Homo-oligomer: A and B are copies of this chain.
Amino acid sequence: MDGYGAGTRTTPTRLRERARYDRETVHAVLDEAYICHLGFVADGEPVVLPTIHARVEETLYLHGSTGSRPLRLARDGLRVCVTVTLLDGLVLARSAFHHSMNYRSVVVHGQAQLVRDPEEKWAALTALVEHVVPGRSAGVRTPSARELAATALLRLPLTEVSAKVRAGGVNDEPEDLSLPHWAGVIPLTLVRGEPQSATDLDACIPTPDYLVIS
């Protein structure tokens, strides 16, 4: 299988030409983004919370605490919508109407389950740390039994998945091209700055290689 296939919930109601279902696009967005927005229904009301995630092959793991609401609700499985959005640019057209943004987003629908198996939990936690900083999981104190118990994780299969991508330049109306207004794209990039050591860090500990930006 090369893609996820368009389903009822994953076919956008507008701008369908921006929709993508191939795994390469979906994986790239999920892997690049530091956070996702987790949506669920609580007492009939929509709730959207930011959290961190990690993809392990065709499973998405979501981080939380055992006290948090989605994780308490998820004991018996919870319908969720997880959305990940990367911003790539501001698109300034000659007309207000055609202003847009360049972005890559992924929407995952499904039934989230609480991870109970200790080995899966450990693997998912490792994946979460590696997702944020590849190489980091080998340079930390691993979780104690108490910490593992205090960390809750949700598992969501990547089955109902779609991506949307807007890239490129301005799409103005032909009759607007001669207007005296500037048009173009302002690129947006999430930039990682220089690592700032903790004030109480032992001065003998160097900045690890995996943090050096090449």
Q: Chain A interface (Cβ within 8 Å of chain B)?
A: 9, 13-15, 34-35, 37-41, 44-50, 52, 65, 67-69, 79-83, 85, 87, 90, 92-97, 99, 101, 103, 105, 107, 109, 125-126, 128-129, 132-133, 136-137, 139-144, 147, 150-151, 169-170, 172, 176-202, 205-208, 211
Most chain B C-beta atoms within 10 Å of own C-beta, residue among A68, A96, A195, A201: A96
Query: What is the count of identical protomers in the complex?
Result: 2
Name the one of B38, B105, B132, B182 contacting A201, with C-beta atoms under 8 angstroms: B182
A197 to B: closest C-beta gap in Å: 4
Residues in B neighbouring A182, C-beta threshold 8 A: 139, 195, 197, 201, 205-208, 211
For the residues of A in contact with B, the DSSP-based class is mixed
A41 to B: closest C-beta gap in Å: 5
Instruction: Report yes or no: A184 in contact with B202, Cβ–Cβ below 8 A.
Output: no
